Amino acid sequence: MKKSSLSLFFTNKPWLQSLVWLQNRSWFSKEWWKSPKIIGGTLAAFIVLGSGGYYLANSSSAAYLIINGEKVGIVVNQLSGQNLIQTVLQEKGATLGVVAKTHDKIEFTPARVSKDQFQPLSEGELQDKLSTYIEAGEITIANQPIFILPSLEEAQGLLKSYQDIYTKTSDTNQVNEVSFEEQVETQSVEVTPDKVLTPEQALEKLKQGNIQKQEYTVQASDSWWLIARKNNMKTLEVLAANPGTTLDTKIKPGQKINLAKVTPFLTVVSKGTRIDQETIPFDVETKTDSSLGSDQTKVAQAGSDGQKEVKYIYVQKNDKIVSKSVIEEKVTKEAVKQVIAKGPKSTPMVVAFSRGSGQASGLGWPLNSHINSYYGYRWGGFHTGIDLAGDTGDPYVAAAAGKVVSAGWGGGYGNCIVIDHGNGIMTRYAHSSKMLVSAGQSVAKGQTIGLVGATGNATGPHLHFEVIINGDTVNPLNYLP
Ligand SMILES: [Zn+2]
């Protein structure tokens, strides 16, 4: 809604303010003020405006509005001019909840215009002519201005709100110390209103982080997942930066795609004590049961995870715990081990591995999904297996029958299972969230042996699968159907 400057003529407050303002001005001529013509004209304007129309007598007493020595337009009189300025200042600050100010020098001189020529200065015209500012609060990070808020208090409040996001004190979390990693300062500044963000906008931007757009050229054998991994991003983030794409969208080498890297503006460092409920994973034990057929397995006792209460001191940066030292542990529920009964061992299985065809290899896919990363050289290293896409908890199976050589922590492999299939052939399954077999156990082809995870050196959940022949890794794709 666009307010007419003239309608404001009747509002109480600006009217009084303007009077005071006028009386304090040295340029204001008392003789002029007392002129009966002016009073008459003003009254005429009052009366006629009340009925909704413009009317000015032929030789009406209007005024020029002068900004910094330049005539910018004509107004009904000084008071309506003042009200018009007041309206513009209010409008400029309205979205920020403040009234803008001006350093411009404002003056009026009497103007005589005929009724036909009278075209009062509009609010829109004045908005372009009047330079405005607000006394705002600026946030600088490492001496770089980042955000400007409507006031210094709101700038400080924003920093507090951002800290509060990551430092919620509760029954199980006692926050003792909060600071920013970066050098953060707030200061008063005079700026034009368009440079100022509302606290809500600023908090949203702060939460989003600093988004830097980059272009990436697809390399041979790249996949969405691999591109994400190379750039330390999540697959979903890469897809989001390329609207319309999904995991199934094909990409070609040489093609350009977008990456939007996000880094937080601010890092909230908090220190405190927390109590967490942690899972105690169950152990798996295998027993031979002669009543079962050879290589047949059966769960004799279902395992279940236990639980413990862990109290620890932490250092946290934004939402990530960067250091943790346990001060107390209490088991609230014991884990129940899984007992697997298995039949007598069959005659050793001979796996007929043949290169290329796949058909007769005897190896099956350990996980029904797609390949995220292939065997071979990749960004400064050699990838010794294939990465199969999966979510944490997806079950994967043994590629062929064999004996578990090891099932345990394998450094960068995380929770890792190695199976010996005889004839110098082994397979490895890395990054498991859970391993369901243990060393020494025999497994059948297609038997679930573990669950997909992201343990060890993994940026996201997947199954890293290797085929090892006489101690060297080979390309699994040459052996899979
Ligand atoms: Zn891998």
Residue where the block lists tokens 């081990």: 337
Nearest-angstrom CA–CA distance, 460 and 453: 8
Q: What is the pLDDT of residue 262?
A: 78
Spacing, Cα 431 to ligand 1 middle (Å): 9
- Whose CA is closest to 459, among 175, 227, 246, 284? 227
Q: What is the pLDDT of residue 353?
A: 47
Residue 105's pLDDT band (boundaries 50, 70, 90)? very high
Spacing, Cα 443 to ligand 1 middle (Å): 23
Residue where the block lists tokens 């600071």: 179
How many residues can be counted in the chain? Answer: 481
Spacing, Cα 323 to ligand 1 middle (Å): 27
Nearest-angstrom CA–CA distance, 151 and 198: 10
Query: CA–CA distance from 264 to each of 180, 208, 268, 479 (Å)?
Result: 12, 7, 10, 45
Spacing, Cα 273 to ligand 1 middle (Å): 36
Spacing, Cα 169 to ligand 1 middle (Å): 39
What does the pLDDT look like over 311-348, one tens digit per residue?
999 999 998 888 889 999 999 999 888 777 777 765 44
For the ranges 54-63, 78-87, 392-401, the lowest mean pLDDT is seen at 54-63
Spacing, Cα 449 to ligand 1 middle (Å): 18
Give 408's strand partners. 416
Spacing, Cα 384 to ligand 1 middle (Å): 7
Spacing, Cα 161 to ligand 1 middle (Å): 41
Residue where the block lists tokens 């890092």: 267
Spacing, Cα 361 to ligand 1 middle (Å): 22
User: 199 near 158, Cβ under 8 Å?
Assistant: yes
How far is CA 102 from its chain centroid?
Answer: 38
Q: Classify residue 203 by its DSSP letter.
A: H
Nearest-angstrom CA–CA distance, 255 and 304: 49
Spacing, Cα 358 to ligand 1 middle (Å): 21
pTM summary value: 0.52
From start to end of 358-457, where are the E strands?
371-373, 376-378, 381-383, 386-389, 395-397, 402-409, 415-420, 425-432, 434-435, 442-443, 448-451
Spacing, Cα 433 to ligand 1 middle (Å): 15
Spacing, Cα 374 to ligand 1 middle (Å): 8
Query: How confident is the model over 100-120, as a mean pLDDT?
Result: 88
Spacing, Cα 367 to ligand 1 middle (Å): 14
Spacing, Cα 371 to ligand 1 middle (Å): 10
Spacing, Cα 481 to ligand 1 middle (Å): 20
Spacing, Cα 244 to ligand 1 middle (Å): 28
* Helix (H) / strand (E) containing 154: helix 152-166
Mean pLDDT of the chain: 81
Q: CATH homologous superfamily of domain 371-478?
A: Glucose Permease (Domain IIA) (2.70.70.10)
- Whose CA is closest to 89, among 118, 49, 123? 123
Spacing, Cα 162 to ligand 1 middle (Å): 37
Q: Classify residue 401 by its DSSP letter.
A: S
- Say whether pLDDT at 102 is over 90: yes
Spacing, Cα 453 to ligand 1 middle (Å): 12
Spacing, Cα 322 to ligand 1 middle (Å): 25
Nearest-angstrom CA–CA distance, 446 and 398: 5
Spacing, Cα 13 to ligand 1 middle (Å): 72
Residue 410's pLDDT band (boundaries 50, 70, 90)? confident
Nearest-angstrom CA–CA distance, 150 and 343: 76
Spacing, Cα 457 to ligand 1 middle (Å): 9
Nearest-angstrom CA–CA distance, 198 and 187: 16
What does the pLDDT look like over 241-262, one tens digit per residue?
898 888 888 899 999 999 987 7
Spacing, Cα 30 to ligand 1 middle (Å): 88
Spacing, Cα 140 to ligand 1 middle (Å): 42
Spacing, Cα 381 to ligand 1 middle (Å): 11
- Say whether pLDDT at 421 is over 60: yes
Nearest-angstrom CA–CA distance, 61 and 76: 7
Spacing, Cα 49 to ligand 1 middle (Å): 80
Label the pairing between strands 134-141 and 184-191: antiparallel
Query: What class has domain 212-263?
Result: alpha beta
Q: Classify residue 397 by its DSSP letter.
A: E
Query: CA–CA distance from 132 to each of 79, 135, 231 (Å)?
Result: 20, 10, 44
Spacing, Cα 382 to ligand 1 middle (Å): 10
Spacing, Cα 380 to ligand 1 middle (Å): 14
From start to end of 237-374, where are the E strands?
256-263, 268-280, 284-288, 297-301, 306-317, 320-333, 338-342, 371-373
Spacing, Cα 465 to ligand 1 middle (Å): 7
Q: What is the pLDDT of residue 415?
A: 94
DSSP count for the chain of H helices, then E strands: 10, 28
Q: Classify residue 336 by its DSSP letter.
A: B
Boundaries of every domain in the chain: 5-132, 135-208, 212-263, 268-342, 371-478
Spacing, Cα 463 to ligand 1 middle (Å): 7
Spacing, Cα 280 to ligand 1 middle (Å): 27
Nearest-angstrom CA–CA distance, 125 and 108: 17
* Helix (H) / strand (E) containing 137: strand 134-141
- Whose CA is closest to 242, among 220, 264, 206, 218? 218
Residue 433's pLDDT band (boundaries 50, 70, 90)? very high
Q: CATH homologous superfamily of domain 268-342?
A: Resuscitation-promoting factor rpfb. (2.20.230.10)
Spacing, Cα 349 to ligand 1 middle (Å): 28
Spacing, Cα 430 to ligand 1 middle (Å): 8
Q: Classify residue 187 by its DSSP letter.
A: E
Query: CA–CA distance from 126 to each of 12, 13, 54 (Å)?
Result: 22, 21, 20
Torsion (CA) 345, 347, 353, 358 in degrees, nearest 10: -70
Nearest-angstrom CA–CA distance, 141 and 126: 36
Burial group, residue 152, by CB count within 10 angstroms (0-12, 13-18, 19+): middle
Torsion (CA) 61, 62, 66, 72 in degrees, nearest 10: -140
For the ranges 20-24, 353-357, 380-384, the lowest mean pLDDT is seen at 20-24
Nearest-angstrom CA–CA distance, 148 and 198: 9
Give 451's strand partners. 395, 434
Nearest-angstrom CA–CA distance, 100 and 95: 11
Residue 60's pLDDT band (boundaries 50, 70, 90)? low
